[in-house]
């Protein structure tokens, strides 16, 4: 399948600060089927604003992103998420395909870090 058919392009997230995060992002091809991530690597970053301070980073190299269940999971433990202020941020997700081409799939989506009650 061609890369440009992967969806979603925007995917807002809400997560509770101080919890373990296992945030699922479904990814499908043009036919609505689960995308085959064989050979792919992914980097996702949460920032105060698109050109701002890095808050948290996820990637396949350190297993904070894993592929499963027809998508990918962003993973962080509660010790790391406790350090994040409960605010609204932006996040994006870049995909490196098996041929070495880097593309940003999810663009400037909202990431809401919620205060634990």
Point out which residues pair with 57 in neighbouring strands. 45
Neighbours of 93 (CB within 10 A): 22
* pLDDT of res. 75: 97
* Sequence-distant contacts of 84-87: CB under 8 A, at least 24 apart: 84/17, 84/55, 84/56, 84/113, 85/17, 85/113, 86/17, 86/113, 86/114, 86/115, 87/48, 87/113
In a domain, 97, yes or no: yes
Over residues 97-107, the pLDDT tens digits come to 899 888 877 77
Number of domains in the chain: 1
* pLDDT of res. 4: 46
3-state SS assignment for residue 61: coil
In a domain, 1, yes or no: no
* pLDDT of res. 29: 76
The residue range of the domain holding 49 is 13-29+38-114
CA dist., res. 87 & res. 97, Å (int): 32
Over residues 39-55, the pLDDT tens digits come to 999 999 999 987 889 99
3-state SS assignment for residue 79: helix
Over residues 13-38, the pLDDT tens digits come to 999 999 999 999 888 777 878 888 89
In a domain, 3, yes or no: no
Residue 59 sits in a domain of what CATH number? 2.60.40
In a domain, 61, yes or no: yes
């Amino acid at each position: 399948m061609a890369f440009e058919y992967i969806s979603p392009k925007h995917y807002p997230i809400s997560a509770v600060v101080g919890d373990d995060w296992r945030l699922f992002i479904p990814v499908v091809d043009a036919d609505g089927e689960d995308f085959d991530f064989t050979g792919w690597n992914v980097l996702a970053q949460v920032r105060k604003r698109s050109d701002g301070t890095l808050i948290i980073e996820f990637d396949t190299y350190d297993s904070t992103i894993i592929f499963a269940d027809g998508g990918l999971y962003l993973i962080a433990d509660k010790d790391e998420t406790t350090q994040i202020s409960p605010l609204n941020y932006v996040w994006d997700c870049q995909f490196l395909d098996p041929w070495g081409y880097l593309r940003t799939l999810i663009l400037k989506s909202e990431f809401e870090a919620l205060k634990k009650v």
